Chain A
Amino acid sequence: SYEQTQPHSVSVALGQTARITCGGNNIGSKKVNWYKQKPGQAPVLVIYRDSSRPSGIPERFSGSNSGNTATLIISRAQAGDEADYYCQVWDSSTVVFGGGTKLTVL
């Protein structure tokens, strides 16, 4: 079955750019979704189909996907961006989540 690898944690200074990666075999051939989850809350979709933003998600959130790595990019990081982030793909009609990355804003 397909697997995605995310770093356990990423740190970013306030106002700087955070990059959270999601690695997988030829993940560039799949569409990647990203979810943000704060403690005690349900996940929220922040990027879908690699780089599209749902309504209400700031332009500071963007995504890319090529080769074996998909990346969630958070520009001008704010304290409210501190959360767990999960990548997710569809593979052979099943759904696969990555292991999640804890983003810390310093």
Chain B
Amino acid sequence: QITLKESGPTLVKPTQTLTLTCTFSGFSLSTSGVGVGWIRQPPGKALEWLALIYWNDDKRYSPSLKSRLTITKDTSKNQVVLTMTNMDPVDTATYYCAHRPPVDVFDIWGQGTMVTVSS
């Protein structure tokens, strides 16, 4: 059974850096074709993809946010970390991590973590 859980601060100040951790179980991020992605959703708005890291450490980023994002993995801890710099109130959202099997889809999602950006 695959599960993912996001963790991190619930409140950050403008200009600060956000660090979120996705801790997963039920799969290995060293298995060929597997990946973990990050997606966010501002209150009342649509889903927005942020980043994706593959088993081979290949990384992909949203073109509009690429300069602010870094995604890394720790295979031994079954964790994926997303950092987003220079946070702004418009970045207030629920942040999800999701499992990407060896096909182009997010088949299992974490419960999400709400992050508010406010001074």
Contact = CB atoms under 8 A, between A and B. Distances in A.
B111 to A, nearest CB: 6
Given A1-B63, A94-B63, A48 B107 contact: yes
A90 B104 contact: yes
B46 A95 contact: no
| Chain A interface main SS type | strand
B46 A99 contact: yes
Contacts of A42: 96, 109-112
A94 B111 contact: no
B20 interface: no
Nearest to A98: B46
A91 to B, nearest CB: 10
A45 B106 contact: yes
A97 interface: yes
B49 A44 contact: no
Contacts, number: 58
Band of interface residues on B: 20 to 34
A1 B60 CA distance: 14
B90 interface: no
Contact of A97 (B46, B107, B111): B46
Interface in B5-54: 37, 39, 46-49, 52
Nearest to B104: A90
A90 B62 CA distance: 12
Contacts of B111: 42
B112 A95 contact: no
A49 B105 contact: yes
Given A42-B96, A90-B104, A95 B49 contact: yes
